[in-house]
Amino acid sequence: MGCGMGKSELQAALLIQRWYRQYVARLEMRRRCTWNIFQSIEYAGEQDQIKLYNFFGFLMDHFTPASSERNLISHIFRENEICRDIEWERYFCYKSIEVPESYTGPHLTFPMTFCGVSKLVEAFKHKQLHARYVLQILGETWRLLRILPNINYVSVCHNQEITICGDLHGHLEDLLLIFYKNGLPSSEKPYVFNGDFVDRGKNSLEILLILFGFLLVYPNDVHLNRGNHEDHIVNLRYGFTKEVLGKYRVHGKKILKLLQKIFSWLPLATVIDHKVLIVHGGISDMTDLNLSWSLEDELKRRRRLAGFDQSYGEMNKSESDSDSDTDISIQIVDLLWSDPMPQNGCIPNEVRGGGCYWGPDITEEVLERHNLQLLIRSHECKQDGYEFCHNRRVLTIFSASNYYEVGSNRGAYIRMGPDLVPHFIQYQASRTSRELTLTQSVGWTERSALRALREQLFVHKSDLISAFQEFDPNNTGMISLRHWASATETVLNLGLPWRVLRPQLVNSTKYGMVDYQQWIRELSITEPKLEISDTSILETMYKNHSNLETIFRIIDTDHSGSISFEEFRQTWKLLSSHLKTEISDEAIADLAQSIDFNKDGSIDINEFMEAFRLVDLSAHT
């Protein structure tokens, strides 16, 4: 008797198969939509940061040297006050810093050894390194970086592999997992770390110290490329400055100053066997590696201007060399900030606000001109940790897993042998994410993305209501879904599929219409209850939360963590100039008085920013 499937069983199997495919397709659509939310909000923040910095540059260019606005921010554009190497050595001297007997962390000896760095790796799982050793590692690193070229050239020996890691962003657990799976750096196990070691995560400094330690022990086998986050201005906004000052309250200012110097000397690229180019961001139609080679000494000096500094770092340059200076600076920024696009051509990267978008034709032209076969870059989070584009001639690698949220993405690194064929190792550093099913993972990250999006909607509520009223001339309080989506995109400018997102954002509609006043009230966001006469300043505060924190930390020149009422007023005046809006002194004074909780006439920056952090009530129901 046959064991074949009957007609009814076959139909049932087909129905199950069809249902499952539709279920997986819906999950994938939700996952992509969630990803778009996270990425759009991230890039909008970067664009906002560059606009703020460009505004600072405008002040430096157009305001008189004696103007109060210019004086507030001029120190971030100046060359370091201490110029000569011998004075730097004296300024950062660690010898007067005593290590107390109560210290239980690792005791380091110099020159660094493999055993010493291995102890450091193990210690950072539980302990903090003493400031004396931090300054000692940083000082040794600075001395080494000053003699390195802008582009490192690496050869992969027979029967040897090189490991290439992308963005780590303070995720120490990812770095430790890479070392566990792949082995520690050594002369037999060379590594390239492709920038963005810091910001966003909570252990950026530990990552830097580990990488610098291995660099000191194996300078020919450990290669560090600069990323766009290796920039002291970016660090003001994205957390690294705050992390260092929180961990080292006494010596934090010196540590940050030395790190600023180190970041400016990090190499810009690595080339493997003259065939594989590794840069953090990408290339452009201006990229010329031959220029970099022929102007090695000049570029070594000018690479200090990379990142935000490049635009206004040389205020007094002569007209005769301004064109070449600008070309070199633009090339450096392109290496750090650019992203690939599927279309041919090269256009400004309006989404990030810096660098460019370059197409497959530019990839082909640059690689062919320099006899290269592959470009490896990082800079963009990818759901699987890596992604090919441009006919597999551009490869993005991203090593920080769970970057946006637990389960949002896997991390990955590359192993490459003499054949120069990349092999990928993927991972999830979080045990929680490894235990989640696909449905749970998508649901978790989706809820997190929607919380972030609701906060964006809430802080723009006045602008949204004004935009909705444009479609409601009769003041009915109702607009169509199409108009709701159009107005929301006009205000937030995030490029999101709002009509697809509508079921997650709008709880109820009537005959395809949205009660927009009720919808604003239902966003479930709570804010601090303060007795302030002018509530419009609160909305400005929420909308420009990150910009305000950046200005605070710039004005806090001694890194004390607190500012006076007068500095608080100056901060708001700077912000109002940037926003081209008027904020009265009375409103600023009212706000300052309401949050001076201990009435000592100064404001703790961290307490202030935390007090005005929005809370999504839907996450607690």
Residue 311 pLDDT: 41
Inform me whether the pLDDT recorded for 71 exceeds 80.
Answer: no
Residue with tokens 């599929």: 497
Inform me whether the pLDDT recorded for 351 exceeds 50.
Answer: yes
If asked whether residues 551 and 515 sit together in one domain, one would say no
Band of pLDDT at residue 533, cut at 50, 70 and 90: low
Residue 295 pLDDT: 43
Inform me whether the pLDDT recorded for 303 exceeds 70.
Answer: no
**Span of 203-207, 221-225, 320-324, 563-567 with lowest mean pLDDT:** 320-324
Task: List C-alpha distances in Å: 214 to 115, 155, 202, 258.
Answer: 10, 19, 21, 18
If asked whether residues 266 and 138 sit together in one domain, one would say yes
> Would 23 be classed as within a structural domain?
no
If asked whether residues 225 and 106 sit together in one domain, one would say yes
Query: 5-15 burial, b for 16+ CB within 10 Å, e for fewer?
Result: eeeeeeeeeee
Residue 62 pLDDT: 65
pLDDT digits (tens, 9 = 90+) for 142-174: 999 988 989 999 999 877 899 999 999 999 999
If asked whether residues 226 and 362 sit together in one domain, one would say yes
Band of pLDDT at residue 27, cut at 50, 70 and 90: confident
> Would 31 be classed as within a structural domain?
no
If asked whether residues 357 and 222 sit together in one domain, one would say yes
> Would 508 be classed as within a structural domain?
yes
If asked whether residues 97 and 134 sit together in one domain, one would say yes
Residue 126 designated active-site? no
Band of pLDDT at residue 569, cut at 50, 70 and 90: confident
Here the CATH number for the domain that contains residue 375 is 3.60.21.10
> Would 71 be classed as within a structural domain?
no
Residue 233 pLDDT: 87
Query: Which residue range is the domain that position 474 belongs to?
Result: 444-524
In percent, the amount of the chain with pLDDT more than 70 equals: 85
Inform me whether the pLDDT recorded for 511 exceeds 90.
Answer: no
Question: Contact, 113 vs 230, CB < 8 A?
Answer: no
Band of pLDDT at residue 431, cut at 50, 70 and 90: confident
If asked whether residues 504 and 593 sit together in one domain, one would say no
If asked whether residues 191 and 124 sit together in one domain, one would say yes
* Active-site pick, 169, 171, 223, 229: 229
Specify the number of domains making up the chain: 3
Here the CATH number for the domain that contains residue 460 is 1.10.238.10
If asked whether residues 476 and 592 sit together in one domain, one would say no
**Span of 117-131, 308-322, 433-447 with lowest mean pLDDT:** 308-322
If asked whether residues 475 and 583 sit together in one domain, one would say no
> Would 434 be classed as within a structural domain?
no
Inform me whether the pLDDT recorded for 314 exceeds 70.
Answer: no
Inform me whether the pLDDT recorded for 126 exceeds 70.
Answer: yes
Amino acid occupying residue 237: R
Which of 524, 554, 577 terminates a domain? The answer is 524
- Please give the Cα distance from 497 to 479 (Å, whole number): 18
- For the segment 406-412, the average pLDDT, to the nearest whole number, is 92
**Span of 130-134, 316-320, 434-438 with lowest mean pLDDT:** 316-320
> Would 237 be classed as within a structural domain?
yes
- Please give the Cα distance from 484 to 462 (Å, whole number): 14
> Would 41 be classed as within a structural domain?
no
Which of 477, 493, 524 terminates a domain? The answer is 524
- For the segment 543-561, the average pLDDT, to the nearest whole number, is 80
Average pLDDT, the chain: 85
If asked whether residues 518 and 411 sit together in one domain, one would say no
Task: Name beta bridge partners: 276.
Answer: 272, 374
> Would 179 be classed as within a structural domain?
yes
- For the segment 541-547, the average pLDDT, to the nearest whole number, is 80
- For the segment 571-585, the average pLDDT, to the nearest whole number, is 82
Inform me whether the pLDDT recorded for 501 exceeds 70.
Answer: yes
* φ, ψ for residue 30, nearest 5 deg: -65, -40
Tokens of 272: 């493997």
162-165 and 191-193 as β-strands: parallel, antiparallel, unpaired? parallel
Residue 3 pLDDT: 59
Question: Contact, 350 vs 136, CB < 8 A?
Answer: no
**Span of 301-310, 423-432, 558-567 with lowest mean pLDDT:** 301-310
Nearest to 30 by CA among 407, 503, 443, 448: 443
Inform me whether the pLDDT recorded for 210 exceeds 90.
Answer: yes
pLDDT digits (tens, 9 = 90+) for 514-524: 999 989 888 76
Inform me whether the pLDDT recorded for 297 exceeds 60.
Answer: no
Residue 382 pLDDT: 95
If asked whether residues 120 and 176 sit together in one domain, one would say yes
- Please give the Cα distance from 492 to 378 (Å, whole number): 27
- Please give the Cα distance from 496 to 32 (Å, whole number): 11
Query: How distant is the alpha carbon of residue 433 from its chain centre?
Result: 22
Query: Which one-letter DSSP state was computed for residue 307?
Result: T
Residue 484 pLDDT: 95
Q: According to the per-residue pLDDT averaged within each range, which of 376-385, 493-502, 584-593 is highest?
A: 376-385
